[in-house]
Amino acid sequence: MTQPVAAFAGLGVSNPERILTNADFERMLDTSDSWIRERTGIRERHVAGPEQTTAMLARDASLAALAEAGMGPDDIDTIILATATPDRLLPSTACDLQALLGARNANAFDIGAACSGWIYGLVVGESMIAAGAAERLLVLGAEKLSAVVDYTDRSTAVLFGDGAGAVVLIRSDGARGILSSYLKSDGTLAELLWRPGGGTVHPPSEEMLKDHSYFIKMAGREVFKNAVRSMADAAARALERAGLVADEVDLLVPHQANIRIIEATAAHARIPMDRVYVNVDRYGNTSSASIPIALDEARRCGQLKPGMTVLLVTFGAGFTWGSLVLRW
Ligand code: ACO
């Protein structure tokens, strides 16, 4: 069994108060509650207010994680913030968060790996601890997807929600923490899930407002197939690296995008659904924030307990995907 280098000292989340239900979408679009529930498993999602930024959601999650760790913002030496919805293109949202927290002793940077970003961030944080470059890190997934979702496009609008999750990552005592991980990407498939406009290739223009190319575009079926294939493969690879088999996994906490993707991934990984945590019904897809939000709920409802072996699996735009095995 591998010795963990990094472990969680605190976990916190932030979910906006406002909720958009499927009934709300029935009033806005040509869709139905039954279509959305059958195809995605989603019933409702939290949506930030106009004044609420990605960095603000991240701040609230960070303060909860720091409180649990018994630390203050000054104790943090590194802030890694994964997001697909940065508040600005420059500077990073991690730097905005640093300012909001008053974390004066930290370096701060963003990670761009879409829905997989929090897992990528944990692996980077773990590597920094192993290299002696950091000791006490905040690793976040924080998203305001409602700002980049096209609410006139029924094929994407119903899928996404806003939220943030944060952990304080520290050097492990050897008993608990990250046992193994696996990261992968395939940039040749970028156009299956992307925001074509708004960057340097197509800088903001009046045309962009008309053609909606600023918003998320997705080839749903292709994303679905790639997600299942890649998440199943990632699950197997992290388990192999940890020297474990599927029967030894107490809880699978997958990225919460769609109940059918989750069920297919669990079936491929040979993990029964009673050992899979699901909350996509109440949050929708919160991208990089989905796994920490699910972990926090799982421990609060008693499904996740100290000492458990937990498998995290993710997939997102890029495409990016990955997995991580934890001793909780
Ligand atoms: N309400 C009603 N009808 C809809 C809706 C909607 N909200 N959205 C699409 N439809 C219609 C389509 O227009 C189409 O109609 P048509 O046959 O008349 O053309 C029909 O439903 C079927 O459309 P498909 O896209 O083929 O439907 P599918 O069964 O593939 O389900 C879905 C669509 C739910 C998007 C599915 O492809 C999916 O879940 N893909 C994965 C996407 C995902 O989770 N992405 C998140 C980002 S990546 C990640 O996090 C893993």
Give the 3-state secondary structure of residue 173: coil
Mean pLDDT computed over 28-51: 97
Cβ(320) to ligand 1 under 6 A?
no
- Verify whether residue 115 is a known catalytic residue: yes
Residue-averaged pLDDT of the chain: 97
Whether the predicted pLDDT of 2 surpasses 90: no
**Neighbouring C-alpha atoms within 13 Å toward the C-beta of 233:** 13
Q: What would the pLDDT profile of 189-236 be if each residue is shown by its tens digit? A: 999 999 999 999 999 999 998 999 999 999 999 999 999 999 999 999
pLDDT given for residue 234 in this prediction? 98
How many whole angstroms from 158 Cα to the centroid of ligand 1? 10
Mean pLDDT computed over 100-128: 98
Q: Whose CA is nearest to atom 31 of ligand 1?
A: 39
The one catalytic residue among 15, 22, 115, 226: 115
pTM of the predicted model, to two decimals? 0.97
Q: What would the pLDDT profile of 72-93 be if each residue is shown by its tens digit? A: 999 999 999 999 999 999 999 9
Q: What would the pLDDT profile of 249-301 be if each residue is shown by its tens digit? A: 999 999 999 999 999 999 999 999 999 999 999 999 999 999 999 999 999 99
CA distance linking residue 159 with residue 227, whole number of Å: 15
- Verify whether residue 46 is a known catalytic residue: no
Contacts of 9 (CB under 8 A, 6+ apart): 68, 69, 70, 71, 136, 167, 168, 169, 170
Atom of ligand 1 nearest to the CA of 39: 34
Please name the amino acid found at residue 155.
Answer: S
Rg over CA atoms, the chain = 19
- Verify whether residue 212 is a known catalytic residue: no
Q: First and final CA of the chain: distance in angstroms?
A: 15
* DSSP letter (8 states) at residue 246: G
